[in-house]
Amino acid sequence: MLQTALLKHRALLSLLCGALTPLAFSPLDLWVLILLTPGILYLLLQDLAPRKAAWVSWCFGVGFFGSGVSWVYVSIHTYGNASVLLASLLTLAFAMGLALMFAAQGWCYAKWLSGSRFPAAGFIGVWIVFEWIRSWFLTGFPWLYLGYALIDTPFKFWAPIGGVWLLSLVALSLSLAGILLIRSRSMTQRITLAIILTLPCLSLVLPKDWTQASGNFQDIDIVQANVAQQLKWDKNYLPDFLNLYSKITLEQTQASIVIWPETAIPSLLSTATPYMHNLLSIFNADNRSLISGIPSIERDTTHPNGYRAYNSLALLTGETDIYHKQRLVPFGEYVPMENYLRGLIEFFNLPMSSFSLPTQQQTTLSVGDSKIAAAICYEIAYPELVRKMSADSDWILTVSNDTWFSHSIAPAQHLQIARMRALENGRWLVRSTNNGLTAIVDPYGDIAAQAPAYEVAVLKGQIENRSGSTPYQLYGVLPVLLFSMLLIAAGFIPRRKESS
């Protein structure tokens, strides 16, 4: 009975720690929390059998995702028209499913590493490996990596070297070294832990400029039209929306490049062109570029519909170019097990939830003399995808429609993730959204300009083409993964036998 009660207490404390951890991310940015909660979870897992460790870790994951991605409730309830109860249950089920990653992580640690000579090393290594697995398993959910919380700290300059995963490694090392330093009674251990705690501070002397400025500046205008999500896909309002975008663009923009957000044009270009003819004619005459998110189709006789639909980003003027989204959001852009779920409840019938993945390799968008690495919405959360796309680019463009998540914490988290991509790749990043958070981010991950959220606005700014590569762009996640494997290997070293 006592053991059962203690296990329940550990599980509850783990749940609480998990729920508090997302407060370290935007918009609250209480980043110190990630230097505490992983270390507490490490202590809670001590001396637990694998099954019990999996249970305690799963509770951490439920709190972590239940708090950190609670914004999915908004899209399910508000825009999917699910009842409060059903939306709450689906949100909870989503968090509980994601938490299985933490359960597997805890089980692996307890099964093979917790009784070793260096259990903390094994704990850190397993955490990083599972963060990486989460970037691709079942199409991936690369959200809320610990490293994102360090984007506004002096440790940030590790990111161009090893990406967000290296920052996660820094956070875990600081957390566990701090916890162990407090508990240690050995002077040798204390000195070792103190050294570990100071190593991340070497970021203060790391190079800041891995990429080179070209001196080629470009003026950018980003149109934020604040179109209501409930009306966006109503065909009756299509002329109003296109006229609104065109009016704002003609009256309030002067830059050579103007950007509209994801699916700003909520129809095929052939349908929208009559309402945009005047705008496109003026832009072509003035040699200006208009880039917009737009759905597109191409014929494909091998597809059941006879065609494929894409969520795309297109250059609509001059020598047109197009990019198709490569990472689709489950249930938002495609429905897994569509034959069984489509029509079951309204949430599974959201507008534009039948997109396809492109069949050909996607490349940078060419706009004048610039090559642009494109990322549509959710894609910006995939570090390796953006790394590969931006390697041959001058700057990064990401478009989104975070209106799906209203005034929740999702837009702030999304912008924080985008900022990390700019820092990792040493490129200027432009972020265009329907109602916020629209921003321009410099190569150091800092916000250079930002539009007010939830209102009609035009964000005007200037960016500079960059060339060259950061170490992360060259080598990706591989060095951090290899180091994590070494930590796991250290976790297999048996404890020294105590002399009698």
Could you say which of 52, 156, 232, 325 is catalytic?
325
Tens digit of pLDDT at every position of the chain (500 positions): 667 888 999 999 999 999 999 999 999 999 999 999 999 999 999 999 999 999 999 999 999 999 999 999 998 888 778 899 999 999 999 999 999 999 999 999 999 999 899 999 999 999 999 999 999 998 899 999 999 999 999 999 999 999 999 999 999 999 999 988 887 777 777 787 788 888 888 888 889 999 999 999 999 999 999 998 888 888 899 999 999 999 999 999 999 999 999 999 999 888 998 999 999 999 999 999 999 999 998 887 666 677 788 999 999 999 999 999 998 877 666 655 445 444 544 544 545 557 788 888 999 999 988 999 999 999 999 999 999 999 999 999 999 998 888 889 999 999 999 999 999 999 999 999 999 899 999 999 999 999 999 999 999 999 999 999 999 999 999 999 999 999 999 989 987 765 44
CB neighbourhood size of 356 (10 A):
20
Query: Parallel, antiparallel, or unpaired: how do β-strands 257-259 and 212-224 relate?
Result: parallel
| Catalytic option among 52, 59, 156, 262 | 262
Handedness of CA 114, 45, 482, 32 (dihedral sign): negative
Report the pLDDT value the prediction gives residue 347, as an integer from 0 to 100.
Answer: 46
Residue-wise burial string across 13-35, b where 16 or more C-beta atoms lie within 10 A, e elsewhere: bbbebbbbbbbbbbeebebebbb
251 counts as catalytic: no
Q: Where in the chain is the domain with CATH 3.60.110.10?
A: 212-469
pLDDT score, position 426: 98
Length of the chain in residues, anyone?
500
Predicted pLDDT of residue 499: 46
Among 377, 379, 384, 424, which one carries the catalytic annotation? 377
CA–CA separation, 111 and 102 (whole Å)? 14
**Model pLDDT, residue 383:** 98
Q: Residue 308: its pLDDT value, please? A: 84
Residue 377 catalytic? yes
**How is residue 395 written in tokens?**
């700057």
3-state secondary structure of 295: strand
The reported pLDDT for the residue numbered 232 is 84
**Residue 262 annotated in active site:** yes
CATH architecture designation of domain 212-469:
4-Layer Sandwich (3.60)
- pTM of this prediction? 0.93
Tell me the C-alpha to C-alpha distance, in Å, between residue 272 and each of 236, 239, 247, 294, 325: 13, 8, 15, 10, 20
Single-letter amino acid, residue 366: S
